[in-house]
Amino acid sequence: MARKLLILAALFGMLGVILGAFGAHGLKNSISESMMANYQTGVQYHLIHTLALLGTALASARLRKNTLVLAGWFFAGGIVIFSGSLYLMAITDMRWLGAVTPIGGVCLIIGWLLLLIGAWAWQPQQTGP
């Protein structure tokens, strides 16, 4: 499962850079300033949570905690729903998509909570005498 999360993190990282460049170069003159701000917020959260997904994938591979794997899936879902809704809203000007964005935000918060629980429950191996 950690491998799937690691692949997803790599894919999301790549897409985050592509979508960020698209917004900076392809959209700057075609959408309003407020929609560009929404788009940039989507890119920011996308890339930050891609790093959280990457760290969670690596930690889950080492620690083998189901809680960490679940955190990774919530980060992935949150990126898609939170950032995806902002991208679509900015590009299409369908402002009702703003009502979907908080669902993604809740997924991201749950991801952080599960990461906290997984870290809290982790017991390092004792070494030495």
With respect to residue 66, please indicate whether it lies within any of the assigned structural domains.
yes
Work out the average pLDDT over 31-58.
96
Query: Is residue 115 a part of any domain in this protein?
Result: yes
What per-residue confidence (pLDDT) applies to 124? 67
| Mean pLDDT (whole number) for 22-48 | 95
Question: How confident is the model over 79-101, as pLDDT tens digits?
Answer: 999 999 999 999 999 999 999 99
Task: Please check whether residue 56 lies inside any domain of the structure.
Answer: yes
41 within domain boundaries? yes
- Sequence-distant (6+) residues with CB within 8 A of 106 are 78
Q: How many domains does the chain fold into?
A: 1
Mean pLDDT computed over every residue of the chain: 93
Residues in the chain, how many?
A: 129
Q: Which residue has the tokens 């299409």?
A: 92
User: What single string gives the DSSP state of each residue in the chain?
Assistant: -HHHHHHHHHHHHHHHHHHHHIIIIISTTTS-HHHHHHHHHHHHHHHHHHHHHHHHHHHHHHH--HHHHHHHHHHHHHIIIIIHHHHHHHHH--GGGGGTHHHHHHHHHHHHHHHHHHHHH--PPP---
Q: Is 125 domain-assigned?
A: no
67 domain residue, yes or no = yes
Instruction: Look up the pTM and report it.
Output: 0.91
127 within some domain? no
Kindly tell me if the per-residue pLDDT of 126 is higher than 70.
no
Q: Does any domain span residue 76?
A: yes
Residue 6 contacts residue 57 (beta carbons within 8 Å): yes
**The domain containing residue 82 runs over which residues?**
2-120
pLDDT in tens, 45-66: 999 999 999 999 999 888 878 8
